[in-house]
Structure 1
Amino acid sequence: MEVNLTTQRVIAWEGKRWVDAMIVSTGKKSTPTVTGVFNIYLKYRKSSMRGDDYNVPNMPHIMYFHRGYGLHGAYWHNRFGTPVSHGCVNLALDKAKWLYNFATVGTPVVVHY
């Protein structure tokens, strides 16, 4: 899986074969998304996320790839293509579900500009 912070896109790969691409919202300047090579280490169909200035219940299709950073569905906005998150990678609900079903624990996640 590839997260391009410049184009605000996630690309799903199967080996060297491109499978799908989708628009996302990554971290804003004050709370950027981490860059590097990671692996999905934990998946939840639904869970809550809390931080200093947010509390989001019933967040769907979460896939954590580094500490508290994850890819997940976002039902509270539709500003995909614009960095608005606290560092996570926000997807439209249908795209988050598809990606959740596509990826497994251990799937590589490459985050870059």
Structure 2
Amino acid sequence: MPNEQTAQLSDEYDPSLTEGEYLGNTVKIPSIIDSFAYVLGEQVGAKRIEVNLQNQHVYGFDGNSKLFDFIVSTGKWAPTPRGTFTIARKVRAQKMSGGNKANNTYYYLPNVPWVMFFGNSKIPWYRGFSFHGTYWHNNFGTPMSHGCVNMKTPEAEQLFNWAPIGTPVIIY
């Protein structure tokens, strides 16, 4: 999500909702989150996450060992920021909305799963850039987002459970 003017973050999670809207289309919300949303911090070691914007992949490293290689979708409507960040906040599910109906970029997506916000001193986490599961498209390998890193939901869950708060994120 590009900025505070076009995107709205919310800690709301409503298990009663079954539909969202993405680029003028109604999308079904999978029911996958049963517990409350917030996650407490953990210790971080030699783990790091890398995002290659050119080939649309996320890599999870522990030291020099590559443990994960996931195909993703990064920013189309707004760029995914390049640089070095850290995972600053983790939320099991929340609503995301923003874009513009007149430009057909509007989205209202309740209960987005496995959200990990990243930030640094120039781009704070509350700007909304994050890794998260995606139920509204399956076009991974092609930029599709408003700046976030869209992931297949099972892979987002795997990364969410592996990466503690404080994990370095390198986007290039």
TM-score (norm 2): 0.63
Q: Helix, strand or coil: the match of 1:97? A: helix
Greater per-residue strand proportion: 1
**Runs of 4+ residues deviating >6 angstroms:** none
Hey, what's the Cα distance between the residues in 1 that align with 2:128 and 2:136?
19
Partner of 1:46: 93
Partner of 2:78: 31
Partner of 1:102: 162
Hey, what's the Cα distance between the residues in 2 that align with 1:17 and 1:27?
27
Deviations 1:12-54 (A, max 9, x none): 00122111100000001x4110000000000000111121322
In structure 2, stretches of 5+ residues that fail to align are 1-48, 100-105, 120-126
| Counterpart mapping for 1:1-113 below 5 A | 1-28=49-76, 30-52=77-99, 53-66=106-119, 67-112=127-172
Q: Helix, strand or coil: the match of 2:157? A: helix
In structure 1, stretches of 5+ residues that fail to align are none
Q: Helix, strand or coil: the match of 1:41? A: strand
Which moved further from structure 2: 40-49 or 50-59? 50-59
Q: CA deviation at 1:55?
A: 1.4
Q: Residue type matched to 2:57 in 1? A: R
- The number of residue pairs the alignment matches comes to 111
Q: Residue type matched to 1:90 in 2? A: N
Q: CA deviation at 1:84?
A: 0.7
Hey, what's the Cα distance between the residues in 1 that align with 2:108 and 2:147?
14
Question: Root-mean-square deviation (CA), in Å?
Answer: 0.8
Q: CA deviation at 1:64?
A: 0.3
Deviations 1:60-99 (A, max 9, x none): 0000003310000000100000001000000001101100
Indicate the structure (1 or 2) with the bigger Cα radius of gyration.
Answer: 2
TM-score (norm 1): 0.95
Hey, what's the Cα distance between the residues in 1 that align with 2:170 and 2:81?
10
